[in-house]
Amino acid sequence: MVTPIREPSAVRPPRTRSKVSNGSRLFIEPVDGRTATGRRYRDLIYTFTSDLGGYDMLSENQLQLARRNALISSLCEGIEAQAVQERQIDVSAYVVLVNCQRRLCETLGLRRVARTVPNGVLEHFANHHNGAAHNVPESGTKRATEPTEATE
């Protein structure tokens, strides 16, 4: 009988596992995650793992890919902020990051899916923003990604 080199982490007591494996720390080394980028990174990990069915439902490989995707997303957002401030950016680095992010999302099975928005939400915004109630359809639903008269 072949003995595995290491046991699954769920079998071993928490004190014998890494704090990263236990989920009590994001990194092996202590890192101050209170910065805006650190908070955003943590939020993105939560969002991506939730989109994939929840932290407990994912394999270690999927968790690692979700973490990488969160880091790449944070880096892209930083570059985008610089571009909006009309600062010079490294476009080729940005394109590489975006392409890598797309491939990670594809590997993880994350896709952009348009959601149907009920009229109640549209009526709320029409009545509370710019008085544009005439743009709201009378019945049925409208897709959130479809343009309205106000956005054309």
d(CA 107, CA 143): 27
- Percent of the chain's residues with pLDDT above 90: 49
* DSSP for residue 143: E
Using one digit for the tens of pLDDT, what is the confidence trace for 53-62? 999 899 999 9
Which CB contacts under 8 angstroms, 24+ apart, belong to 39-43? 40/74, 40/77, 41/70, 41/71, 41/74, 42/70
Mind listing the pLDDT tens digit for each residue in 92-136?
A: 999 999 999 999 999 999 876 766 766 776 676 777 766 544 444
Average pLDDT of the chain, as a whole number: 80
Both tokens assigned to 92: 């080729």
pTM score > 0.85 for this model? Answer: no
pLDDT: which is higher, 149 or 95: 95
For residue 9, pLDDT over 50 is answered with yes
What dihedral angle (degrees, nearest 10) is formed by the CA atoms of 14, 17, 23, 28? 150
What is the percent of the chain with per-residue pLDDT over 70, rounded to a whole number?
A: 71
Task: Report residue 139's pLDDT band, with 50, 70 and 90 as the boundaries.
Answer: very low
